[in-house]
Structure 1
Amino acid sequence: MPDETAELLLRENEPAIPAVKVPALPSVKDSGLPAVKDGLEILCGPLLNYKGMQIVGSKVPIWHGSVLIVAKPGSSSPSLNLQYIGVQSRTSQSGFPLPNDLGERDNVREGSTPNPPDPYHASEVSGVKLYSDPVKAFWRFSIDLALQDHEARWQYTLTNIESSGSEPGTLHSRTFFVPSAFQSMRIMFHSCNGFSAGTDEDEWSGPALWNDALRIHAQNPFHAMIGGGDQIYNDGVRVEGPLKAWTDIGNPKKRKAFPFDEELRAACDAFYFSNYVNWFSKEPFRSANSQIPQINIWDDHDTIDGYGSYANNFMRCNVFRGIGSISYKYYCLFQLHIPPPTTQKQQYRTFDDEFENTGMPCETFILEHQSEDSSFIIGERPGPYFLEHSRSIYMRLGPSLAFLGVDARTERTRYRVNYPETYDLIFERVRRELSFEGSNCKITHLLLLLGIPIAYPRLNWLENFLTSPVIGPIRFLSKRFGVAGGFFNLFDGQVEILDDLDDHYTARRHRQERKDLMLRLQSLAQDHNVRITILGGDVHLAALGRFYTKPELGLPVEHDHRYMANVISSAIINKPPPQAIADFLARRNKVHHLDHNTHETLMEMFDKGPGGSNRGSRLMMPSRNYAVISVNPLDSVGFNRANGHGVDRGNEPSSIAPQVKRTAKKGHLPLHHGEEGAGTEHPAANGMGEGTLPGGLDVTFRVEVDHRDRTGRTEGYGFSSKSRASTIVGEIT
């Protein structure tokens, strides 16, 4: 990146808005913002999202995105000025087909959206109000950009709003990067972006790793960042928030029957909103989410720890359903940039004479009658506890890369992750997309986000113990005399960690659903010659799980539709488990059998500790981390070096039988060339897209060196995943 761009990134690190006292909102005085004159007073933002790519119906591929701000209500309407400001890098001739005249374009959205802006002239985008009540308003600005023959840098500037350090009526400009029509996106993947209740945040240096992410972005820009769940931790609602009194009720029956009246709803609504404003305005996360387009799927902490995995009769209580509705509302607004469901209007009283008594907004606006974003795969029926529809996401990330994020929380119960009909909708959509040949660009890699790891050590023995009759007497002593009080949670009286175990795909209650899902993924990979790489977080450590065809069949990885790597990366903020726990889990790692032909296990990934420190297992890294993902250029068939990097190794020989056979007894050894030498010495370890396999997927774990270092220095660990052979001309020798 040019020096001027790096300086701009540093300039954009504005002071964070101070922590907001719940349930009060940040004031002009508290936030350091100037008095509002003609513009709106901003409370949070700007937040940048990636919304997908339009290929059908336009002569040039169209990049869709959005910017969101939250402001105090006012009479003026904000707008956004969008301007192309430069070429980021040179790219070569392959990828989406482009017409000779880049200015010749079709309308990009059916019936309503204007042509994308001319890349060499500024354009104005009007804000659309998604939601408002007497204390806040959410404004969205939709952006449509035609992809060029080069990676481009764009700038947006918000007008008619007030912010510290800006000229009257304007906000500091932000820049972001859009790939060329020939590039698949460089991705940052993160999860667990917050602290569990009771964590000493100062001891763990707050959100330090976002400093490292911004440093990597300044060297080689990210085109998007995938939030794998727990983008915010709302657990404080029951610790110091409005649910504390409810949590402290000792009698489970009284706690379950506790009413969720309008006063409690108002207090919880204010808590969730204020927590979002505070966290999304905290540096350096604030700078990252205004410059790197986000793609988010939620998980339990976005509502409250373990939501969905407690006992069914308790999950259906008034309070749990109430906070589920509120968290879904703010998830839609802050993370998806869409209005909450209009059914939310039923939660509010609209009579002026009730306002003073209930504290609820007397006037609430929700944008209605909008067509759904084409990236969503919406469940047919509401989840059992949120009472809202799941929203999985499919979108293209370039000529050869696609993304599928499964909403594995909205429909979740202790016994199910998703409805069977939701899986049908998801696979129908993905098969239709992978069958599309109109772009002349075949998708070779599919990133699948499941949130919770699916290739992970089994803990069935622990589940069996914690649900066995031997726990009964201990629970009785805990209730009567407080024995082992911390061993049981305060919600449903079950063992504290049982909700976490029930969340896992490897839990016995989810075992059949997990198997069915993996077999459908294998069929998808085989039918469409696509390499599927699974992303997962949640467990607060880094690891690499893999499914693959059993070695006895002698099937090289480039032909193996069962080969799927599970990139497990978390947490970017929350503290990791102790080294002893990671070592224990690593010892539990075995070669498991999904079915007669499919093995699964972790791979040795971590050749040394970060910064050269001594660590235990090579299979698991209990340090804070995030991942960098990019498609390695395939020079042999004309693919470009997407960002000016890459190692040209030509067409490497396919994996040979001896390499595969030697993993039969020890499944955590490398299975193919891209896994050879995985770790700090691998070409992909620096996160710059310098992997070993033409057309392969480069993955880098960026692991924190010292949690006391507020600059967030990291060590890189890399590996590459092979494409399916039949999708690459000349790959097989």
Structure 2
Amino acid sequence: MATPIATSHTDEINGVQGVGQGPQVISTSQSLEVIVGPLLNYRRMSNEQSGSPIWHGSVLIVTTPGQQNPKLTLSPAGAVDPSAEKASFNGVESRLFNGEKLYEDPDKAFWRFLIDVPFQQFESWWKYDIEGLAYVEEAKEDKPRAFAIPSISQSMRILFHSCNGFSVGTDVDAWSGPALWNDVLRMHEQKPFHVMLGGGDQIYNDGVRVDGPLKPWTAIGNPHKRREFPFGEKMRADCDEYYFKNYVRWYGQKPFSTANGQIPQVNIWDDHDIIDGFGSYTDRFMRCAVFRGIGGVAHKYYLLFQHHMAPPKSTFTTDAKHTKDLAVGGTADPVQIKDTFVMTGDMDDPSYMIGSKPGPYVEERSRSIYCQLGKHIAFCGIDARTERTRHQINYPDTYKMIFDRLNKEFSTNKDLKHLVLLLGVPIAYPRLQWLENILSSPIIGPIKFLNKRFGFAGGLFNQFDGSVDLLDDLDDHYTAHQHKHERRDLVHMLQTFSKTHSARVTILGGDVHLAAVGRFYSNPKLGIAPEKDHRYMPNVVSSAITNKPPPQAVANLLAKRNKIHHLDHDTDETLLEIFDRDPGHGDKTNSASNSATNGAATNGDIKKKTADANHATMPSRNYAIICESNAIPTASSSAPPPAAAAAPSTNGEAAPAQTSTPPDRKANMRKPIHVGEQGAGTEHPAANGLRPTGLCGAYGLDVTIRVEISPSDREGHTDGYGFSIPALEV
């Protein structure tokens, strides 16, 4: 309960400067009234002079206004492996962390706890508890939460997901809601994830134009009037309320909310975090006031909910046009900061790589991410939405900044053997230029005219700029014709980086609502084995964890377009044929979570997902697991090493795997080309997703794509497809 107070808030909360006086209320409740949360984020590792690396993260809660100085207690909670010998925390005790207020207005407040823990010699659990936490909705219960971090000598076990929401018009109940998060939690219970990487579209805000405050604007038929429509303070406030409530609804919904409190997140964003197709419509239309306005509102809540960062002081409206300069230090709109507190001087975490200038439509600077995921894996997430236009994904200066940082980090830390690069959209993916040509050709003109006059083929055209609705999705692709030069340059920069530092690059991509595995590799005529090939870069495509997949015909068409493409004279690319059968079919399953006795559908209940000839694309909801393929067994290990594991060498490191034979010039490169790809699919040792395979050398990775068996199964049981990635031996 909050009551008015006579004196205003100071502009300094917990030693951090703020702008605005806040809502002038103070809570008289005996408990901490929480609307949504806690949300757990991973931020970075740091190596202290004492020699013990430190794990840094944050916890976010959203409360009613007027709360005072919330506190969080963080405690060691034992070893992940209960049989681990000498699992002592060496005097590490419970610690108390104070909350920092990021933002407060008359309806809500955002509080952040910056937490840190030392890595141990063993994989460890850490419990956190927020003092007096009580949910505004009485039906919710507060329980102590815990998260796991790897040992000082391990890399992190990674969960990768994307497209965590539903497109407008989807029958959510028919798709059992966010069912696959139940499967994520089952896998996490058996073997914990240390981090989950969100590849974009963590939330779908498209409803803002269908049943939200943009509905009257969307309904305007005249394109000129729609472009000139103002984005005043009333519309901004209505959109602000819509985005906030949509975040609360989605981030407070189980089982996703349960995962949010147990598995630390690292996120980049994509168009649906703003609105469908943002950045890929025509430039003249993208620069209209409404797009500029919702870009600012979406960015505000993206920072708060997904990055636990203070937002800008105010965002663009046509009532206060000077706010367009906020990204370069402009003055805050006094209307927006009335009865509102916004933290200022929030120091950017060193894991962020901030663009040198604002984006063209989101008038803020891009926010790419670098952090270390344990001993041997580095992570880079490129913000490929803030700077995006129809003809550009990122500024050249942004690429330079990112690769300068990568070169610096890998030159300094020789323990790093692998770079996991996160892009919102796949980069090794079948070309669809022929479809782009058809949809943008003159033959579409008469149909477009009939659509404008009589509504003919209404589902084919979007209600923003009148273009073919599918075209903005195709324009998003790296393989779109207008992005092909930028795509090639990025791959060449990655090849140079990989060769310079003898580091394998694995690319993660989402967006396309199906699963696939693309690979770049040296042209077979060069006679280079993949283990020694700096051009070998797999692209794990995992999408969507929640949204419905495309029709089977689309997946089959993409598989037919799975040609051997030539990026340049020395580099080829194609999809790996990893899907040996549909999920849930066959006499043998490797699913750790698939059990008919636990409610999974039986084979007779499962509809066929792909054509018999399609082994390259899987139109079914999915997520991916990435982890080191070599976990050196110890006397305390709870599970024996798999039969395929490489034997440890005398110095305790796993022996390198045997180098594959260079691929034959006439070989079908859609098939496995090295030992880690042999048997790729449901029979591969990595398909289970729980035990290291021991394949691909000391620093190889195992990849598992967990694919939904039946959308009618509300428990979200999955089947696994696996392959392994070799370390680079240059």
TM-score, length-scaled by structure 1: 0.86
Aligned with 2:715 (options 711, 714, 724): 711
Equivalent residue number for residue 504 of structure 1? 477
Equivalent residue number for residue 249 of structure 1? 220
- Tell me: CA distance 1:75–1:500, structure 2 relative to 1, closer, same or farther (3 Å): closer
- Does 2:535 align with 1:532? no
Judge which range, 468-477 or 173-182, deviates more.
Answer: 468-477
Provide the C-alpha distance between the structure 2 equivalents of 1:135 and 1:359, rounded to a whole number of angstroms: 16
> 1:183–1:642: 8 Å Cα contact kept in structure 2?
no
* Amino acid paired to 1:64: H
> 1:151–1:177: 8 Å Cα contact kept in structure 2?
yes
After TM superposition, list the pairs within 5 Å mapping 1:610-649 onto structure 2. Answer: 610-612=583-585, 614=608, 615-616=610-611, 617-633=614-630, 635=632, 647-649=644-646
Equivalent residue number for residue 468 of structure 2? 495
> 2:314–2:337: 8 Å Cα contact kept in structure 1?
no
The alpha-carbon deviation at position 371 of structure 1 amounts to 1.9
Aligned with 1:62 (options 54, 59, 66): 54
Gapped regions of structure 1 (runs ≥ 5): 1-34, 94-100, 104-117, 350-357, 727-733
> 1:134–1:361: 8 Å Cα contact kept in structure 2?
no
Deviations 1:365-401 (A, max 9, x none): 1111122100000000000000100000000001111
Equivalent residue number for residue 697 of structure 1? 701
Equivalent residue number for residue 444 of structure 1? 417
The alpha-carbon deviation at position 670 of structure 1 amounts to 0.6
The alpha-carbon deviation at position 293 of structure 1 amounts to 0.3
Aligned with 1:336 (options 303, 307, 312): 307
Equivalent residue number for residue 589 of structure 2? none
* Amino acid paired to 1:674: G
- Tell me: CA distance 1:90–1:711, structure 2 relative to 1, closer, same or farther (3 Å): closer
Aligned with 1:150 (options 110, 122, 127): 122
Provide the C-alpha distance between the structure 2 equivalents of 1:127 and 1:506, rounded to a whole number of angstroms: 45
Equivalent residue number for residue 31 of structure 1? none
Deviations 1:206-234 (A, max 9, x none): 00000000000000000000000000000
* Amino acid paired to 2:75: Q
Equivalent residue number for residue 263 of structure 1? 234
- Does 2:385 align with 1:385? no
Judge which range, 415-424 or 365-374, deviates more.
Answer: 365-374
Deviations 1:334-374 (A, max 9, x none): 0001101235499999xxxxxxxx99663221111122100
Deviations 1:83-122 (A, max 9, x none): 11111128999xxxxxxx986xxxxxxxxxxxxxx63x21
Deviations 1:283-306 (A, max 9, x none): 000100100000100000000000
- Tell me: CA distance 1:167–1:208, structure 2 relative to 1, closer, same or farther (3 Å): closer
After TM superposition, list the pairs within 5 Å mapping 1:106-125 onto structure 2. Answer: 119=92, 121-125=93-97
The alpha-carbon deviation at position 652 of structure 1 amounts to 3.1
SS of 2:469 mapped into structure 1: coil
- Tell me: CA distance 1:390–1:539, structure 2 relative to 1, closer, same or farther (3 Å): same
- Tell me: CA distance 1:595–1:570, structure 2 relative to 1, closer, same or farther (3 Å): same
- Tell me: CA distance 1:465–1:642, structure 2 relative to 1, closer, same or farther (3 Å): farther
Deviations 1:597-641 (A, max 9, x none): 0000001101110100643211010000000110112659x9998
The alpha-carbon deviation at position 248 of structure 1 amounts to 0.8
- Tell me: CA distance 1:144–1:420, structure 2 relative to 1, closer, same or farther (3 Å): same
- Does 2:434 align with 1:461? yes
> 2:293–2:315: 8 Å Cα contact kept in structure 1?
no
Equivalent residue number for residue 419 of structure 1? 395
- Tell me: CA distance 1:634–1:259, structure 2 relative to 1, closer, same or farther (3 Å): same
Equivalent residue number for residue 134 of structure 1? 106
The alpha-carbon deviation at position 62 of structure 1 amounts to 0.3
RMSD: 2.6
Equivalent residue number for residue 84 of structure 1? 76
Provide the C-alpha distance between the structure 1 equivalents of 2:56 and 2:191, rounded to a whole number of angstroms: 21
Aligned with 2:285 (options 314, 324, 338): 314
The alpha-carbon deviation at position 552 of structure 1 amounts to 1.0
> 2:200–2:273: 8 Å Cα contact kept in structure 1?
yes
> 1:309–1:414: 8 Å Cα contact kept in structure 2?
yes
- Tell me: CA distance 1:642–1:429, structure 2 relative to 1, closer, same or farther (3 Å): farther
Aligned with 2:256 (options 266, 273, 285): 285
Equivalent residue number for residue 9 of structure 1? none
- Does 2:668 align with 1:655? no
Aligned with 1:44 (options 11, 19, 36): 36
- Does 2:44 align with 1:71? no
Aligned with 2:182 (options 199, 202, 211): 211
- Tell me: CA distance 1:623–1:346, structure 2 relative to 1, closer, same or farther (3 Å): closer
- Tell me: CA distance 1:551–1:412, structure 2 relative to 1, closer, same or farther (3 Å): same
- Tell me: CA distance 1:219–1:75, structure 2 relative to 1, closer, same or farther (3 Å): closer
Aligned with 1:568 (options 541, 554, 565): 541
- Tell me: CA distance 1:275–1:505, structure 2 relative to 1, closer, same or farther (3 Å): same
Deviations 1:306-330 (A, max 9, x none): 0000000100101111000000000
* Amino acid paired to 2:119: L
What percentage of aligned pairs have identical amino acids? 55
SS of 1:497 mapped into structure 2: helix
TM-score, length-scaled by structure 2: 0.86
Judge which range, 195-204 or 334-343, deviates more.
Answer: 334-343
SS of 1:698 mapped into structure 2: strand
The alpha-carbon deviation at position 467 of structure 1 amounts to 1.5
- Tell me: CA distance 1:178–1:196, structure 2 relative to 1, closer, same or farther (3 Å): same
Equivalent residue number for residue 3 of structure 1? none
Aligned with 2:686 (options 660, 684, 687): 684
Deviations 1:449-502 (A, max 9, x none): 011000001011111111122222221222122222222111001111110000
Equivalent residue number for residue 12 of structure 2? none
Provide the C-alpha distance between the structure 2 equivalents of 1:644 and 1:428, rounded to a whole number of angstroms: 42
Equivalent residue number for residue 134 of structure 2? 162
> 1:635–1:641: 8 Å Cα contact kept in structure 2?
no
Provide the C-alpha distance between the structure 2 equivalents of 1:75 and 1:477, rounded to a whole number of angstroms: 57
- Tell me: CA distance 1:360–1:420, structure 2 relative to 1, closer, same or farther (3 Å): closer
* Amino acid paired to 1:562: R
Provide the C-alpha distance between the structure 2 equivalents of 1:431 and 1:698, rounded to a whole number of angstroms: 25
Equivalent residue number for residue 28 of structure 1? none
Deviations 1:240-261 (A, max 9, x none): 1111111111111111111111
Provide the C-alpha distance between the structure 2 equivalents of 1:91 and 1:57, rounded to a whole number of angstroms: 31
SS of 1:301 mapped into structure 2: helix
> 1:89–1:644: 8 Å Cα contact kept in structure 2?
no
SS of 1:492 mapped into structure 2: coil
Provide the C-alpha distance between the structure 2 equivalents of 1:285 and 1:186, rounded to a whole number of angstroms: 19
Aligned with 1:364 (options 310, 317, 340): 340
Equivalent residue number for residue 223 of structure 1? 194
> 2:232–2:319: 8 Å Cα contact kept in structure 1?
no
- Tell me: CA distance 1:204–1:102, structure 2 relative to 1, closer, same or farther (3 Å): closer
Equivalent residue number for residue 11 of structure 2? none
The alpha-carbon deviation at position 152 of structure 1 amounts to 0.8
* Amino acid paired to 2:112: R
SS of 1:180 mapped into structure 2: coil
In the alignment of these two chains, the number of paired residues is 655
> 2:289–2:318: 8 Å Cα contact kept in structure 1?
no
The alpha-carbon deviation at position 38 of structure 1 amounts to 1.7
* Amino acid paired to 1:73: P
SS of 1:379 mapped into structure 2: strand
> 1:182–1:640: 8 Å Cα contact kept in structure 2?
no
SS of 2:584 mapped into structure 1: helix
Judge which range, 131-140 or 466-475, deviates more.
Answer: 466-475
